[in-house]
Amino acid sequence: MSENTAVTGTAFDDAKKQLRAAQEILGFSDDDYELLATPRRELSVAIPVRRDDGTREVLHGYRVQHNLTRGPGKGGTRYAEDVDMEEVRALSMLMTWKCALLNLPYGGAKGGVAFDPTKYSEAERERITRRYVAEILPIIGPEVDIPAPDVGTDAQTMAWFMDTYSTAVGYTAPGIVTGKPVSLGGSVGRAEATSLGVFITTREAIKHLGLEIEGATATVQGFGKVGRDAAIFMDKAGMKVVAISDVYGAIYNADGIDTQALAKHVDETGKVVDFPGAEAMDPDEVLLLDVDAVVPAAVEGVITADNADRIKAKVVIEAANGPTTAGGDEILNNKGIMVVPDILANSGGVLVSYYEWVQSRDNFWWDLERVQAHQEEAMMSVWNDVVAFAEEKDITMRQAAVAMAVERVLDAHHMRGLFP
């Protein structure tokens, strides 16, 4: 599970606009705004790497801890060419709100390395990961800041994280990261947790709009670690996923795509195009089809002031982090299109990461039924709270979710006080 914009400003500017909107709703002071708008700690590191051919290059990595008032930092690590400090700042702030919205005992953090992992061998990715961990090691730890997978990283990456950290401290420390392989203390249900959360919020949004799940239509932009399982969950529930895209192209079937067959096709070919159960379509049109729900599950900044007016769906489910820019969000709001914000829609991942962290600390492991039952209960509770707050204040779902989260962080800050 992730911020560029098509309007003037950066992803961090958009994140601060959301915070400013929360200030208008809650009425807190400018001093409190500055406190919440300023990341607590930022680290930029150089990562020298030796390529397989013997050449060397230097990559750039980042880790930002936005706010630690409610607990240790929590947030993913992404590997992508466009990773920069501004993006990581924005994502760390969103993680603060996401954790607070779910009432988890975490603050918000995020990290990343600026490179395309598909252009590097597995051995090179391992060396990059281990050096990155060594560089950020002074500011991470099971009680300090707990990384997790994100775009371009996976359970194997987290295994390298854990091993490198454990070697440095002299003992095995499974709680240093979440999203690990189950064989190394990971949690069952973590791999599909973000996708399940996307499905739960999609299901509830469809019901909230007075529609039936059976036969409801959707499109999914992105068929990676989040979009893939989210589409399969929707399909199994009786929804028609009529269009799906990835970085190589897009496919369409008005009667609904067989998502499990598509998953097998992608496993074999690496892309959704040329799937025999659908026809090719323009990827730019996937978010613009006349369906009940559109699910941007790929990258940030895809719904902008340039295309938001052409969106026809009844609801946008933000499976990706920051897929809607501030300009796009305003247009959707003016059109009366419901937007389920990222800090709610894709929060299943950090929720089950918390369950993994708890299991690591207790050395007691839950079964899948227990994990998913807890996830369903927690996400339904948050969904109902956000809907009720939005209706009470006559505000959008995003404004409600962020305001609720900000209020919890501020309450904790005021109780702790300011040192010294």
Q: How many residues does the chain have?
A: 420
Give the pair of three-digit tokens for residue 356.
Answer: 């993994």
The confidence score (pLDDT) of residue 161 equals 98
What does the alpha-carbon distance between residue 401 and residue 389 come to, in Å, rounded to a whole number?
8
Distance of alpha carbon 303 from the chain centroid = 16
Give 214's DSSP letter.
T
What does the alpha-carbon distance between residue 356 and residue 352 come to, in Å, rounded to a whole number?
6
Cα–Cα distances in angstroms (integers) from residue 354 to residues 313, 346, 409, in the given order: 33, 14, 18
What does the alpha-carbon distance between residue 366 and residue 222 come to, in Å, rounded to a whole number?
30
Claim to verify: residue 163 and residue 212 sit in the same structural domain: no
- Residue 210 included in any domain: yes
Q: Is 98 annotated as a binding residue?
A: yes
Of the residues 329, 345, 361, which one is the last residue of a structural domain? Answer: 345
Claim to verify: residue 220 and residue 175 sit in the same structural domain: no
Q: Is 194 annotated as a binding residue?
A: yes
* Sequence letter at residue 383: W
What does the alpha-carbon distance between residue 69 and residue 65 come to, in Å, rounded to a whole number?
11
Point out the residues that are catalytic: 110
Cα–Cα distances in angstroms (integers) from residue 108 to residues 54, 70, 73, 74, 356, in the given order: 38, 9, 5, 5, 17
Say if residues 205 and 315 touch (Cβ distance below 8 Å).
yes
- Among 115, 76, 105, residue whose Cα is nearest residue 92: 76
- Residue 378 included in any domain: no
Q: Is 16 annotated as a binding residue?
A: no
Domain of 235, in residue numbers: 193-345
Q: Domain tally for the chain?
A: 2
* Residue ranges, the chain, pLDDT below 50: 1-8
Claim to verify: residue 199 and residue 178 sit in the same structural domain: no
The confidence score (pLDDT) of residue 9 equals 61
Q: Is 180 annotated as a binding residue?
A: no
- Residue 327 included in any domain: yes
The confidence score (pLDDT) of residue 5 equals 29
Q: What is the pTM of this model?
A: 0.91
What does the alpha-carbon distance between residue 61 and residue 51 come to, in Å, rounded to a whole number?
17
Distance of alpha carbon 110 from the chain centroid = 11
Claim to verify: residue 131 and residue 251 sit in the same structural domain: no
Tens digits of residue pLDDT in 115-174: 999 999 999 999 999 999 999 999 999 999 999 999 899 999 999 999 999 999 999 999
